[in-house]
Structure formats: C-alpha cells, structure tokens
Homo-oligomer: A and B are copies of this chain.
Amino acid sequence: MNFCTSCGSEVALRIPQGDDRERFVCVSCETIHYVNPRVIVGCVPVYEDKVLLCKRAIEPRYGYWTLPAGFMENGETTPEGAARETWEEAEARVSQLELYRIFDVPYISQVYMFYRCEIDDGQFGVGPESLESALYREEDIPWDEIAFPPVKETLREYFKDAAEGRFPVRVSAIEYKRRIKE
C-alpha cells in the first residue's frame, strides 16, 4: 500500500495511538488503513458416494483438481458464498449445506471454510474458471493432481467420515513448512 484510499496522499507505517502494531496511516488526512485476513468459502459437493471436483482453468495451479471455492464477497453469508462458487466453477446447484472444515492459513492471512452439501439431482457442468468437472469415488480421486493441501486433507477426511457416518467440524492450521513438504 502506497497511497491513501480517502485522499490520495502517501501513507506511512506507524503504530496508531492505543494500538500495538504498525498500520498504514495517511500522512495527510491521518486515516488508518486496516488490512485483514480474507475468507475463502467452498463446498464438498456430494452425490451418492462421489464428490464433485473441478480442474482449474486459471492460475495458480492451472490443470490441477480442486473443490469449488473462492473469495467470499461482501454482502453474502458463508454458505451463500460457498454455493455461489459451486455454481460459478461447476454449474451445480447445491442444498443442505453443513459447515464441515475450517483451515487457518496464517502465512497468507486466509481462512478456508468448506461446507458439505448435496448436489441437486446430481447435475453439474463446467464453469468459465474450470477445464472440466467430474464426480469422483474415493478410489478414483487423482490424489497427485490436487491443487491445494487444504483440499487434499478435506477430501481424505470426508471419505473417512462418510464411512463412519459422522461429520465433526474440524479446525486446524496449515503452516508454511508443511506446505513446502507437500
């Protein structure tokens, strides 16, 4: 951040009064500009014993498979955002959304929230950000071609939980070191 969004003057890193960390503060109008983590909302869309994956048509991880997910938008709820992303990326309408998995990714200041859900009538398509979409049974998942660590972990847990018929909500953090290893 170089310039103030309110007045266009330069900003400088300063610790505002009563605060304990550096913020971008306008040198002219003194507006404090807070920068906060972003939420990524997505679905684990299920039909029978299969999960819907999309092959990414965009970077990062072009050509790798992922669960439909993306940045939460202003004015929507987390399940609304998860359903919207599932429509945009896989042209699937979903229902019965239940919170399933939260990942904190502090080194990039992101929070992932995945909802389990049912694909209405098992119907889906291919959205503009996907090369293809497909329903996968556990044994057919392309494990070596999954785009992101949180997606791989969520899929592993989902099939294990489905076999046991219980879906506890889990929260954990993805650390930088771990990502490098994968």
Contact = CB atoms under 8 A, between A and B. Distances in A.
- Copies of chain A in the complex: 2
A71 interface: yes
A123 interface: no
B77 A173 contact: yes
Contact of A78 (B18, B35, B111, B128): B111
Nearest to A74: B109
A3 B2 contact: no
A75 B109 contact: yes
Contact of A7 (B2, B9, B73, B104): B2
A2 B26 CA distance: 14
A102 B39 CA distance: 13
Question: In the complex, which of the residues A1, A21, A106 has the most CB atoms of chain B within 10 Å of its own CB atom?
Answer: A106
A104 B75 contact: no
A16 interface: no
A15 interface: no
A56 to B, nearest CB: 14
B74 A102 contact: no
